[in-house]
Amino acid sequence: MSAPAKPYRAPRDFLWFARRPAYTVFVLRELTSVFVAWTIVFLLLLADAALNGTYERFTALAGRPWMVALNTLAFLATAFHSVTFLNLAPKATVVRLDGWRVPAFLIQGGNHTLWLLVSGIIAYFVLRGV
Q: Among candidates 46, 107, 40, which has minimal Cα distance to 78? A: 40
DSSP state, residue 93 = -
Q: How many domains does the chain have?
A: 1
Q: Is the pLDDT of residue 77 over 80?
A: yes
Give the structural domain span for 40: 16-128
> In CATH, what number is assigned to the domain containing residue 90?
1.20.1300.10
Domain annotation covers residue 47: yes
Q: What is the pLDDT of residues 9-66, one digit of tens each?
A: 888 888 888 999 999 999 999 999 999 999 999 999 999 999 999 999 999 999 999 9
- The span from the CA of 101 to the CA of 94, in Å, is 7
